[in-house]
Structures are given as C-alpha cells and as structure tokens.
A and B are shown apart, each in its own frame.
Chain A
Amino acid sequence: MRAMQIMQLAAMNDPVPAPPGASSPTGDSGGGPRLFIERVEALAAVIDLDIPPQYLAGVAENLERLLAQAKLIGDVELPPGSDAAPVFRP
C-alpha cells in the first residue's frame, strides 16, 4: 500500500484519483471535467470567492491534486486523542 502511495505521489502529473464523491476533471466517469469544475465554482461561491473563468480548469486540477494528498493524510490511523500542533515546538 505504501509503495503504491509513493508511486502515486511521484507521478503527480498523471491523472490522480478523484476524491470520494467527485468526478475527475481528467477522467471519464461521473460527468467528466465539466462537473468537477462546476463543483469548484460552487465551493468557491460558498466562501464568496469569484474565480475568473479562465482560471477554473487550473484551479480544479490543483484542487484535485490537493485532495489526493489529503487522502494520504487520512491513511494514517492516528491514536484517539492525538492532538494537533498548531503551535509546534520540536
């Protein structure tokens, strides 16, 4: 599993898996790129962020990449009660 994750990261120019419940702008399933871009627009509207149309595809691509990374964060089973480190002192 870990090796697969590493390869997935090292191949970030390849199409990345769509986040759960979302279609991939680079994939063919579930509505295709247009649907994911529409979801990006909807997300942006929630925080009143007006993304110019010419940037939408690039933002969608980057968000998809981020969500693939976010999935990796969740792959580690953290012990219950483990605290965040917003002010971090090593």
Chain B
Amino acid sequence: MSSLPAGASEIAAGVRAGRFSAEQAVAAAQAAIAARDPALNCFTILYGEAALNEARAVDARIKAGDPPGPLAGVPFGVKELYDIAGRVTLAGSKINRDNPPAQADATLVARMRRAGAVPVGAQNMDEYAYGFSTENAHYGATRNPHDPARIAGGSSGGSAASVAAGMVPVSLGSDTNGSIRVPASLCGVFGLKPTFGRLPRTGTYPFISDLDHLGAFARSVADLALVYDVLQGPDSADPVCSGRPIEPVTPALEGGGTIRAAVLEDWFQEGAGPEALSALAEAAKALGAASTVSLPGAANARAAAFCLTAAEGAALHLADLRARPGDFDPANRDRLLAGALLPAAVVIEAQRLRRWFQQRAAELFARYDLLLAPAAPCVAPFIGQPTALIGGREVLVRPNLGLYTQPISFIGLPVVAAPVHLPGRLPVAVQLIAAPWREDIAFRAAAALERAGVAIAKVAAS
C-alpha cells in the first residue's frame, strides 16, 4: 500500500472524501500481499477479482450518494474459520475440505461488509484453532514478519502477521485460550479479545463454545476501536452473545480520568523472559501502575482451561477422530484423542473452578480498573523449535506460549494486547485486562500507552 495511507481510519476517510477509490485501496492491499505473502504465508485463499468487484460496489455507493460506511474501502483479512458465503470454511484443516460452501457470511464479516470494508482473503491458522504457533501441517507455517525464521504465534497467526507486514490494516481473528493475544505479542500488533459474549460467533467454526471469543488486530488503537465499534451488537443466533447495546469505545479514546492500574504478579511473571518483563515494566510505569497484586488460583485456572479445551475439542471432533484420525494435524490428533478419554468429572470441576476464579478476579476489580500482565512469556521462537527457554528452563513451546492468556480468557475478561518494541529486540505485548464489559478502559489504557510512545505497532520491513 505504498502510495496510499496504511491505516484503516485514513483509508476510509480518503475513500469517503474521494481522494482515492475503494478499488485502489483494495488493489494496493493485493499488491502488498503479492509482494510479501509468498515469503510469509499469511493467506491460504485470496479473493482476487471478487474483492475488487466488492470495492467497485463501494465506489458505486459513494457515487450514488449513499453513505458508504465507516470502513469504506478498507481491505481486511479473515481468519479462515469465519464463514464467507459461497466458500468452504476450512478452519485450518484438511477434513473440512469435504464440507459444502457456507450459505452466508459470519455475522462479523457481514457487519464489516455493511460498514464498507472488503475482505481480501482467508488467513492461515492452527488446525481447528488448537495451537499457539500457526505451524499448520496442511497449509504450512506462517512466518513472523519481524524475523521470517520465527513463528507468528497462533492460532490467529496469519491474521496477526498480515497486519504486522502491512498487507492489510486490520484483520479478524479468534481467541479461545490466547489465539489473538499471543500472535499480537509475537508479531507486535494491537489485538483485541473482548468480553466473552460481547461479539457474536455466529457463522464461525467453533472450537470450545465455553471459551471462544472473536476479535481483531490492527496497527493502531484508533483502527482497532473503529473495527470493534462496527462489530458490536446483539445477535440472537449465538446463545452466548449478550443482548447488551453497542457501547462505542472510539469516543472514549481521548478521555481523561485516572485508571487505577495494578500489575499481576506470581503466576503472571514467573517464567517470563526479560523482554516480557521489560515491556511490562514500561507499560506499568507509563500507566502509573505502582502496585502489584496476586490473582489467586491462576495456575489452577490455567489447568482448568487446558482440560476443558482438550475435552470439549475432542467431543466436537469425535466422529472424525473415530473415522479418520490420520487426517488431523499430528500436532492435534494425539491430544484430541487423549481429551476424549478425560473423565467428565474433570470437566465439571473445571466449570466449578471457573465460577470461583471469576469471583477472585472480581475482588481485584473492586480495587483496580485495569490489570497488567505479559501476553506471552517470550519473544517469537523459531519455526520448528520444540522447546524454548521460559523461566530459565527448557519447556515445550506449544503448550506454554499461552501461560498468561489462558487464565484470563477462562473467565472472559476483555483484553487489549498492546505491543511494545524494545530497541533491538523482537516485539512482545502487554495484556491490558479490564473488568467484564469494560473494554473502554482497556482501550483508554492502550491509547495512553500509544500516545506515550510505549505501545507501537511497526510495519515489519520486508
């Protein structure tokens, strides 16, 4: 997008003002994808001429004097577990190739389109969203734009990396245990995981219904807020989706007022590498978070999320696990089979713990508006690297990248992952965690960090 603005807000403003067309904006994104994606593998399907036609329709709306929407002509990427009408939703799998095409867009895709945005392609992910690395056995690994020898994180790896590489200004992802926050951290972009139940999952391929959240990536807080405001709203087709009215965050970004912030300690710092701890310290300083607090039961909550994920994931895929286990990504097959053998009592106990842990977090939010924690324990590991040094010990990469995200999504708290680029280091992000339904506070904190120059999402050089 060399000759056009790179941000969603600027693109939409330019298209609405007639400085350039939606078609030009989409074509510029396609050129950027053509230039960079062969080396990075963010996209598994490109919409090509169909996307250009959609952009032309946006231009026609403007010419006809119809309001084109707040995201007029903004190209965006879609994690390939979102339904796109007429296309098969692969969810990173080989098995889903046998499914019929989706009959309708996922609700969030439809809302993006109604706002004038144009999907340009489907994006790579861990198979069935089960993983933190986007090293997909069927579609290849997505590479980190800051160092292509390293992973992008997952499971929304293609979505995060495409934004970090400047191919698209925004993309849609999903987060069950950290699948937006971990790749946002490793790729150095802003990521939003809203409150559980805030955004409808209708028309997305499920993973763990109890834990699935949808969200987005962007390179600025304003763009993330703009997209989030478009995505909000009830949807009776998703029984988990709240009936809450739209609560726009964009107007609050410049808002003042003190945010009572504290830094989570214990579980959320033990094992963190120097980059994660430095980023956390910088963010805490900028937000005036002088206190450190403990969230009791975080290790147990993480364990509960771990077990729920394996058991519910296995239940979802049991028919295929019986019939065609060899068609699963080997990284997932054995753990899903193991999940099928987990006693039901473990799942029930995990759900009981969830309620208890929610109450422990609520006690902290009686004293603080915002809690800070690293989004990942380390910078991006290398592709194919089975273990990483976390907390001074060599541990498995795949299960441990979500150490700090899993307890938080377990109880559905809203989080903005704010990227910090330390000089000469790969990026890491800080989780800005708010009380349920207080996305506005997480956004205000992210905007404050961005204004202070602490949080920044740089386009990775090619």
In the complex, A69 has a CB within 8 A of chain B: yes
Q: What residues of A have a CB within 8 angstroms of the CB of B348 in the complex?
A: 84
Which residues 407-432 of B sit at the A interface, judged by CB distance below 8 A? 411-413
- Quick check: A13 and B395 within 8 Å, CB to CB? yes
Q: What residues of B have a CB within 8 angstroms of the CB of A40 in the complex?
A: 341
29 A–B contacts, CB within 8 A, in A order: A6-B270, A6-B271, A10-B270, A10-B271, A10-B400, A11-B393, A11-B395, A13-B387, A13-B395, A44-B340, A47-B340, A52-B326, A61-B334, A61-B338, A62-B310, A66-B335, A69-B306, A73-B346, A76-B356, A78-B349, A78-B353, A82-B355, A84-B354, A84-B355, A85-B358, A87-B239, A88-B210, A88-B412, A90-B197
- Quick check: A70 and B307 within 8 Å, CB to CB? yes
- Quick check: A90 and B396 within 8 Å, CB to CB? no
**In the bound complex, how far is the Cα of B302 from the Cα of A73, in angstroms?**
9
**In the bound complex, how far is the Cα of B335 from the Cα of A60, in angstroms?**
9
Q: How far is the CB of A84 from chain B (nearest CB, A)?
A: 4
| Smallest CB gap from A2: residue in B | B299
- Quick check: B390 and A73 within 8 Å, CB to CB? no
| Smallest CB gap from B390: residue in A | A10
- Quick check: A9 and B299 within 8 Å, CB to CB? yes
- Quick check: A90 and B436 within 8 Å, CB to CB? yes
Q: What residues of A have a CB within 8 angstroms of the CB of B310 in the complex?
A: 62, 66
Closest 10 pairs (CB-CB, A-B) = A58-B334, A84-B351, A62-B338, A90-B436, A72-B303, A63-B338, A90-B412, A69-B303, A62-B335, A70-B346
Given the known A-B contacts A6-B299, A43-B341, A50-B322, are A66 and B196 also in contact in the complex, defined by CB atoms under 8 Å? Answer: no
| Smallest CB gap from B361: residue in A | A90
**In the bound complex, how far is the Cα of B335 from the Cα of A63, in angstroms?**
7
Q: What residues of B have a CB within 8 angstroms of the CB of A79 in the complex?
A: 356
Instruction: Please report A residues at the B interface, Cβ cutoff 8 Å.
Output: 2-3, 5-7, 9-13, 40, 43-44, 47, 49-52, 55, 58-63, 65-67, 69-70, 72-76, 78-79, 82-90
In the complex, B300 has a CB within 8 A of chain A: yes
Which residues 259-275 of B sit at the A interface, judged by CB distance below 8 A? 266-267, 270-271
- Quick check: B342 and A86 within 8 Å, CB to CB? no
**In the bound complex, how far is the Cα of B394 from the Cα of A76, in angstroms?**
28
Contact among A49, A72, A83, A89 with B352 in the assembled complex (CB-CB below 8 Å): A83
Q: Is the interface of B mostly helix, strand, loop or mixed?
A: helix
Q: How far is the CB of A53 from chain B (nearest CB, A)?
A: 12
**In the bound complex, how far is the Cα of B341 from the Cα of A12, in angstroms?**
20
Q: What residues of A have a CB within 8 angstroms of the CB of B354 in the complex?
A: 84-85, 88
**In the bound complex, how far is the Cα of B297 from the Cα of A84, in angstroms?**
16
**In the bound complex, how far is the Cα of B338 from the Cα of A7, in angstroms?**
23
- Quick check: B356 and A78 within 8 Å, CB to CB? yes
Q: What residues of B have a CB within 8 angstroms of the CB of A13 in the complex?
A: 387, 394-396
**In the bound complex, how far is the Cα of B391 from the Cα of A66, in angstroms?**
22
**In the bound complex, how far is the Cα of B300 from the Cα of A50, in angstroms?**
32
- Quick check: A49 and B321 within 8 Å, CB to CB? yes
- Quick check: B337 and A51 within 8 Å, CB to CB? yes
Q: What residues of B have a CB within 8 angstroms of the CB of A44 in the complex?
A: 337, 340-341
Q: What residues of B have a CB within 8 angstroms of the CB of A58 in the complex?
A: 333-334
Seed contacts A49-B322, A85-B352, A86-B351; 9 additional CB < 8 Å A-B pairs:
A10-B270, A13-B395, A13-B396, A44-B341, A62-B339, A63-B341, A66-B338, A70-B307, A83-B352
In the complex, B55 has a CB within 8 A of chain A: no
- Quick check: A49 and B337 within 8 Å, CB to CB? yes
- Quick check: A66 and B307 within 8 Å, CB to CB? yes
Given the known A-B contacts A78-B356, A88-B210, A90-B358, are A70 and B342 also in contact in the complex, defined by CB atoms under 8 Å? Answer: yes
| Smallest CB gap from A63: residue in B | B338
- Quick check: A73 and B353 within 8 Å, CB to CB? yes
Contact among A51, A52, A73 with B349 in the assembled complex (CB-CB below 8 Å): A73
Q: How far is the CB of B407 from chain A (nearest CB, A)?
A: 11
**In the bound complex, how far is the Cα of B355 from the Cα of A10, in angstroms?**
24
In the complex, B376 has a CB within 8 A of chain A: no
**In the bound complex, how far is the Cα of B242 from the Cα of A43, in angstroms?**
39
**In the bound complex, how far is the Cα of B330 from the Cα of A61, in angstroms?**
14
Q: What residues of B have a CB within 8 angstroms of the CB of A87 in the complex?
A: 239-240
Query: Can you list, as one digit per residue, whether each of B172-216 has a CB less than 8 Å from chain A (1) or not (0)?
Result: 000000000000000000000001110000000000001000000
Given the known A-B contacts A13-B396, A55-B337, are A73 and B355 also in contact in the complex, defined by CB atoms under 8 Å? Answer: no
Q: What residues of A have a CB within 8 angstroms of the CB of B326 in the complex?
A: 52
Q: How far is the CB of A39 from chain B (nearest CB, A)?
A: 10
In the complex, B120 has a CB within 8 A of chain A: no
Q: What residues of B have a CB within 8 angstroms of the CB of A51 in the complex?
A: 325, 337
Q: What residues of B have a CB within 8 angstroms of the CB of A66 in the complex?
A: 306-307, 310, 335, 338-339, 342, 346
- Quick check: A84 and B352 within 8 Å, CB to CB? yes
| Smallest CB gap from B297: residue in A | A76
Q: How far is the CB of B158 from chain A (nearest CB, A)?
A: 26
**In the bound complex, how far is the Cα of B343 from the Cα of A47, in angstroms?**
11
In the complex, B27 has a CB within 8 A of chain A: no
Q: How far is the CB of B344 from chain A (nearest CB, A)?
A: 11
Q: What residues of A have a CB within 8 angstroms of the CB of B28 in the complex?
A: none
